[in-house]
Amino acid sequence: MELLIKNGAVYDPFNGIAGDKTDISIKDGKIVDKVSSSASVIDAGGRLVMSGGVDAHSHIAGAKVNVGRIMRPEDTRSGIKPRTKITRPYTGYTVPNVYAMGYRYAQMGYTTVFEAAQAIMKARHTHEELEEIPIIDKGALTLFGSNWPTMDYVREKNMDKLAAYVAWGLLASRGFGIKCVNPGGGEMWGFGKNVTGLDDVVPNFDVTPAQIIVSLMKANEMLGLPHSVHLHCNNLGKPGNYKTTLASMELAKQVKPSKDRQVLHVTHITFNCWGGTNWGDFESKADEIANYLNNSENVTTDMGQLIFGSATTMTADGPVQYANAKLLHAKWANGDVELEDASGVVPIFYARQVSIHAIMWAMGLELALLTKDPYKVLLTTDHPNGGPFVNYPEVIALLMSNKKRQEEIKTLHEAVHKRTKIPGIERELDFNDIAIMTRAGSAKVLGLLDTKGHLGVGADADISIYDIKPDQIDPSVEHAKIKSAFQSAAYTIKGGEVVVKDGQITATPMGRTFWVDATVPEEQTEIMMKDIRMKFKNYYSISLANYMVQDAYVTHPKVVKAGVIPVEVS
């Protein structure tokens, strides 16, 4: 299996290549120095070549995605494509079926996607769905922020037990990293309440959100996990929440990273850079967040860009979803995951003439355009919260063209002029910036740069070729061409195999599921497990034997080793 991609205009920021005509050699699914003369050849003909896209935050599998499908039968009527010889049927837009998830990502040139939230108790379901998503590599982040054992160990200041619990929780859920959603708030939602700031005390546990975040960051670094803590901040969905977001970012200063990456990833900033005190004086403070990022290390973010039209909000933040449902008079599903967290699902429609939606549209773009280093802001829509992932090409076009932004602004509620900075921002990102925000940066944030997000020797042969000749196009003017090229890759190559040609799926290999096996001293696990067995006996509705994700659920695993005792990455 040898393949040579010739004459590509390659953008590979991690290796310092910005549009140079470079050949890429592939053998046995990996990028190599050179191939033999019998290799198959793809002539890119001067077209844009990047590594396969990497999405660090999307909701593609698990209980809440399925609740979204149940709540929105109308969604299945859009985007229908019947079965072909190669593909199974596609359905849905905001909550597409599992097959469409894999096909549509691959058609955009994406090859790796991480599900951003799974409760350990629901992880079997997550993996059952991940197993059905074709083509892409994937993984899932595990919720620890409103979890009883976490809060017990934070209160006891017992970092050894907390690290052992996180390691065990990742094993139990076959998870990739620590997700923390409205820490403490999910627990309080069980009593119809919420936390209102980083220093509120969670009743019955006597811990604060700030203590939970800092302790989880410390446990994360003790274990040397590839990714950092991935935080959905407290007070999300409330005007004025940018202060909580900045204060949460400030907590990262208390912890030293164990690796060359951030210690805290603060996700979907569109939902937590809100100024004002109520819906009347609601305004964007994305500039304040960007300013903070420009003057700090160890914190990264992603956009969570809003897309006008239908979306389905789904999150472990139970209380915010109750507030959303009340505000919007919308359908509402609420979930409580026993000792672990809460959740909620609410469909939404983002309208151009609704002032709040117009301001939110500006927020993600402001963040990306005002933050100088694109490694600090990943391109996401928090699919399907800000909008479905199929709209990434729209976001790319907006970031690359001020002309397109100004055309859009003309169609929006006038609040976008007074309550955001977007009309006056002239910066236009280039292909290098886009390659960082969708590839190198996401892989770095996830801790996967050894094999993902770049085109150096040893990387996975995940490559996208787009029908754009960078030296012949002005993205600022020809933004429609940019959008359509990124919607429909000329080629997507996954693990050395052509899976998309001219926007059509040509093969559907099974991707792998990344999870982290973190080791701690055995006696540490044993001491911690005494507590866990007690919790199962007294509180859980299921037995421990029915809880763990077994190997049978993850048939194509990619195990990343970590742990208190440092172990080589396998």
Contact residues for Zn ion, defined by CB under 5 A:
116, 382
Judged by beta carbon, residue 58 or residue 525, the one nearer Zn ion is: 58
Q: Nearest approach, Cβ of 321 to Zn ion (angstroms)?
A: 12
Would you say 200 or 382 has its CB closer to Zn ion?
382
What gap in Å lies between CA 420 and CA 228, rounded to an integer?
Answer: 30
Residue for token pair 């969708």:
438
Classify 102 as helix, strand or coil: helix
CB closer to Zn ion, 181 vs 549: 181
Inter-CA distances, 216 with 155, 233, 297, 337, 399, Å:
12, 14, 19, 20, 34
Nearer CB in complex with Zn ion: 392/431:
392
> By C-beta, is 116 or 140 nearer to Zn ion?
116
Identify which of residues 441 and 495 has a Cβ nearer to Zn ion in the complex: 441
- Cα separation of 466 and 469, whole Å? 8
CB of 58 to Zn ion, least distance (A): 8
382 or 460: whose CB is closer to Zn ion? 382
Smallest separation, CB 316 to Zn ion (Å): 9
Quote the least distance from Cβ 345 to Zn ion, whole Å: 12
List, edge to edge, every strand of the sheet that includes 333-337.
309-315, 341-350, 333-337
Q: Please provide residue 454's backbone torsions phi and psi, each rounded to the nearest 5 degrees.
A: -155, 175
Q: How far is the CB of 124 from Zn ion (least distance, A)?
A: 21
The secondary structure of 428-486, three-state, reads CCCHHHHHHHHHHHHHHHHCCCCCCCCCCCCCECCEEEECCCHHHCCCCCCHHHHHHHH
CA distance 404 to 221: 42
- Show Cβ contacts of residue 109 under 8 Å, excluding neighbours closer than 6 positions: 50, 52, 53, 464, 465, 466, 486, 489, 492, 500
Question: Least separation, in Å, of the C-beta of 126 and Zn ion?
Answer: 14
Q: From the CB of 240, what's the least distance to Zn ion, in Å? A: 21
- Kindly give the pairing relationship between strand 377-378 and strand 491-494: unpaired
Indicate the SS3 state at residue 107.
helix
**Shortest distance (Å) from residue 116 CB to Zn ion:** 4
Beta partners for residue 377, in sequence order: 301
* Closer of 35 and 367 to Zn ion (Cβ): 367
